[in-house]
Chain A
Amino acid sequence: MDKTYKSKRVVLWLGLVLIAALTILSIYGAFVGAARARSFFNSVPLILYWFVFLIVLVLGIGVFPRLVRTPSLLLIHAGCVVVLVGSMWASHRGHAIRNELLGTDKIPQGSMQIYEGGSEKHVVLDGTGEIKELPFSIRLKDFGIEYYQPGYLIVQSRNGKTWRIPAKVGTRLQLAPDLMTVEIVRKFENFKITLEQGKHQVIDQPGGGSNPALEIRVDHSSGSAATRYVFERFAGHPHPGDEFQFIYQRMAREYTSRVEVLRDGRVVAQKNIEVNHPLHYAGYHFYQNSYGSEAGWYTVLGVVSDRGLYIVYAGYAMLCVGVFWLLWFRELLSAKHRVTNR
């Protein structure tokens, strides 16, 4: 057995063992959840694993001349190398090392909370909670949520039966011939109770907050009637004596943060940040992550560095082109392989 053949076998076996190990580790990662899996795959033993994987891939390209001679195979294996290198470059540790060596201060990943009309340049780092400053600030002009219309009133009986009633004023539904009738009487965007002349009054107060609710009238088959308020944010407990639970459900179509990027007091960029439409500016991506309306509307933007991203994408492109070239165009659809089988 010559030496080259032996080294090829060793590299192949090593590759197979590493692939099997990563398969098992991925399944383990799925069981522990994303947060723990992320820290597991970035732990020191796993960093060693990634380096060994990288070395075996490079060794494979070195000892198998076919991998170099066949462009599709080279693209696949080199693509994996590029993805691994790009991921290492983009990782939190990669950022830390480069910041240390090059004296830069790039934020790997964090979030920022901005109130409507306000601007912010501080980012809370994920994991550590450390606060860092961007070289520019983001101003939130306004934040809005667009909902699918009309929303639904969900009625659940104690035995698990469910009815969905479109939340349109005037809609009536008798749940069953011997059961009650439910009618949507009023819709509120911002439900409030005021005290006027010693009387409690329910009002829909425009602006300055959000408390979506429905007023419903329940006519029981016995002839009695009652008014109930159902809140979107505070899924109600059944009223004492009620046999049904009411839930007001609306589904968001879009969350939009209208922002401006300010540098030295000047607006240098504008964008409506939505889910799937992040802002890309100065090496960072800004994502619509969350929102809130306590003490006024605010948005929470995810801030992610774009370092290493295009290296990873280049690796993806190489891998994808290589796989299709090799398995579809070179082998599967070639005339040669239709008549002969290996």
Chain B
Amino acid sequence: MEIKYTTQGLLIYVAMAAYLAAFVMTLARLRKAGRHLYFSAFILACVALGYRGYVVRHVPMQNLFEVFLCMGALVYPISIFCRRVLRVSGVTADMLIGAIVLFPAGFAFSDQPQHLPPALQCWLFTPHVAVYVLAYVFMAKAAYQGLCQLADIKPRQNMLEPEQATYRMIRAGFPLLTLGLILGSIWGKIAWGDYWGWDPKESFSLASWLVYVGYFHFRYMFGKKHARLNSIWALLGLAVIIVTLFWVNLSQLFAGLHSYAT
């Protein structure tokens, strides 16, 4: 764990503090202040992301530091979209999620600028990573709704019940997960000659996709009869995603073609 005494670090810490303050204010029923702080946190996260892009001179999605920075900026728009369009609650939890996803960028990963290796200089770089980052935020929200269902937490008025909200979040995230997998496969063909090489990251990405394929089939078979199992399935999906995102890149167990993404 390292503290960053840099402009980049400062921006991340201020954004984290704003997300946390928004969370605390909302819990303390100071909703208006919480909303303003939440929006400020989003703007700060965007500035941190933009500053990173300015420093490295490419779309900042090259490594885990940049991916988490990106997630920190995406939490707010996804949260608002889910509440207003999809009627899925969890905005207060999203404020905390915003701080949590910025934590690895702030303390765990180095912000040392890196050049893009030749393999990453492809038009598929941005869409492939961006759709995965979006999908992961939706799936994290699905897992949170699954937790709410297991803990029997009731949603606010006019919002979906947690089991239905989980289903809706997975429906929102799964097409993006599919697109990410397919774009990665096409990129693999263009860069390395194989659209599927059973690289550890590819294998875990396939596993996480399959967990949600299994979820859809299971839910189709039983509907809401086994609501708790549906929720556990969503949590399992997030667990596999976390392994795909973190462990495969960081562990020495999985040497592969995606090792530059640490």
Q: Specify which of A15, A289, A316 is in contact with B185 (CB 8 Å cutoff).
A: A316
Q: Which residues between 89 and 137 of chain B lie within 8 Å of chain A, taking CB atoms? A: 112, 115, 117-119, 121-122
Please tell me the number of chain A residues within 8 Å of chain B, measured between CB atoms. 52
Query: Could you tell me if A302 and B193 are in contact, using CB atoms closer than 8 angstroms?
Result: yes
CB distance from B225 to the nearest CB of A (A): 13
B 161-175 binary contact with A (CB < 8 Å = 1; else 0): 100100010011011
Q: Which residues between 189 and 208 of chain B lie within 8 Å of chain A, taking CB atoms? A: 189-201, 203-204, 206-207
Query: Could you tell me if B192 and A287 are in contact, using CB atoms closer than 8 angstroms?
Result: yes
Query: Could you tell me if A328 and B175 are in contact, using CB atoms closer than 8 angstroms?
Result: yes
* Cβ contacts under 8 Å, A274 to chain B: 118
Q: Which residues between 285 and 305 of chain A lie within 8 Å of chain B, taking CB atoms? A: 285, 287, 289, 302, 304
Consensus secondary structure, chain B interface: helix
Query: Could you tell me if B200 and A34 are in contact, using CB atoms closer than 8 angstroms?
Result: yes
- In the assembly, what is the distance between CA of A301 and CA of B198, in Å? 21
- In the assembly, what is the distance between CA of A327 and CA of B175, in Å? 7
Query: Could you tell me if A16 and B221 are in contact, using CB atoms closer than 8 angstroms?
Result: yes
Query: Could you tell me if B256 and A320 are in contact, using CB atoms closer than 8 angstroms?
Result: no
* Cβ contacts under 8 Å, A312 to chain B: 195
- In the assembly, what is the distance between CA of A341 and CA of B254, in Å? 42
Q: A12-B221, A252-B117 are in contact. Are A19 and B214 (CB under 8 A)?
A: yes
* Cβ contacts under 8 Å, B164 to chain A: 341-342
- Whether A38 is near chain B, meaning CB under 8 Å from some CB there, is yes
* Cβ contacts under 8 Å, A33 to chain B: 200, 254-256
- Whether B24 is near chain A, meaning CB under 8 Å from some CB there, is no
- Whether B160 is near chain A, meaning CB under 8 Å from some CB there, is yes
Query: Could you tell me if A332 and B168 are in contact, using CB atoms closer than 8 angstroms?
Result: yes
Query: Could you tell me if A276 and B119 are in contact, using CB atoms closer than 8 angstroms?
Result: yes
- Whether B257 is near chain A, meaning CB under 8 Å from some CB there, is yes
Question: Taking CB as reference atom, which chain B residue is nearest A86?
Answer: B195
Q: Specify which of B186, B217, B256 is in contact with A316 (CB 8 Å cutoff).
A: B186
Query: Could you tell me if B256 and A15 are in contact, using CB atoms closer than 8 angstroms?
Result: no
- Whether A97 is near chain B, meaning CB under 8 Å from some CB there, is no
- Whether A7 is near chain B, meaning CB under 8 Å from some CB there, is no
- Whether B211 is near chain A, meaning CB under 8 Å from some CB there, is yes
Query: Could you tell me if A34 and B214 are in contact, using CB atoms closer than 8 angstroms?
Result: no
* Cβ contacts under 8 Å, B257 to chain A: 34
Binds B, one of A20-28, A172-180, A218-226, A236-244: A20-28
Q: A30-B207, A276-B122 are in contact. Are A327 and B174 (CB under 8 A)?
A: yes
Q: Which residues between 54 and 102 of chain B lie within 8 Å of chain A, taking CB atoms? A: 85-87
Interface band, chain B: 35 or more
Q: Which residues between 142 and 184 of chain B lie within 8 Å of chain A, taking CB atoms? A: 160-161, 164, 168, 171-172, 174-175, 178-179, 182
- Whether A324 is near chain B, meaning CB under 8 Å from some CB there, is yes
- In the assembly, what is the distance between CA of A46 and CA of B184, in Å? 23
- Whether A50 is near chain B, meaning CB under 8 Å from some CB there, is no
Q: Which residues between 1 and 39 of chain A lie within 8 Å of chain B, taking CB atoms? A: 9, 12, 15-16, 19-20, 22-23, 26-27, 29-31, 33-34, 37-38
Q: Specify which of A15, A38, A255 is in contact with B198 (CB 8 Å cutoff).
A: A38
Query: Could you tell me if A27 and B207 are in contact, using CB atoms closer than 8 angstroms?
Result: yes
Most A CB contacts (10 A, CB to CB) among B87, B175, B254 go to B175
CB distance from B6 to the nearest CB of A (A): 14
Query: Could you tell me if A15 and B118 are in contact, using CB atoms closer than 8 angstroms?
Result: no
Q: Specify which of A19, A255, A285 is in contact with B193 (CB 8 Å cutoff).
A: A285
B 213-240 binary contact with A (CB < 8 Å = 1; else 0): 1100110110000000000000000001
- Whether A338 is near chain B, meaning CB under 8 Å from some CB there, is yes
- In the assembly, what is the distance between CA of A41 and CA of B87, in Å? 42
Question: Taking CB as reference atom, which chain A residue is nearest B204?
Answer: A30
* Cβ contacts under 8 Å, B220 to chain A: 12
CB distance from B199 to the nearest CB of A (A): 5
- Whether B43 is near chain A, meaning CB under 8 Å from some CB there, is no
Most A CB contacts (10 A, CB to CB) among B112, B117, B118 go to B118
Query: Could you tell me if B122 and A331 are in contact, using CB atoms closer than 8 angstroms?
Result: no
Query: Could you tell me if B190 and A15 are in contact, using CB atoms closer than 8 angstroms?
Result: no
Query: Could you tell me if B122 and A22 are in contact, using CB atoms closer than 8 angstroms?
Result: no
Query: Could you tell me if B198 and A29 are in contact, using CB atoms closer than 8 angstroms?
Result: yes
Q: 30 interchain pairs (CB within 8 A)? A: A12-B220, A15-B217, A16-B218, A19-B210, A22-B210, A23-B207, A26-B203, A26-B206, A27-B240, A29-B198, A29-B203, A33-B256, A34-B200, A34-B256, A37-B198, A37-B200, A251-B115, A253-B115, A255-B118, A276-B190, A285-B189, A285-B193, A287-B192, A289-B193, A302-B193, A304-B193, A324-B175, A327-B172, A331-B171, A332-B168
Task: Given contact pairs A23-B214, A87-B196, enumerate 17 new A-B contacts (beta carbons under 8 Å).
Answer: A16-B218, A20-B214, A23-B210, A26-B207, A27-B203, A27-B207, A33-B256, A164-B112, A251-B117, A275-B191, A276-B118, A319-B178, A319-B182, A323-B178, A332-B86, A332-B171, A341-B160
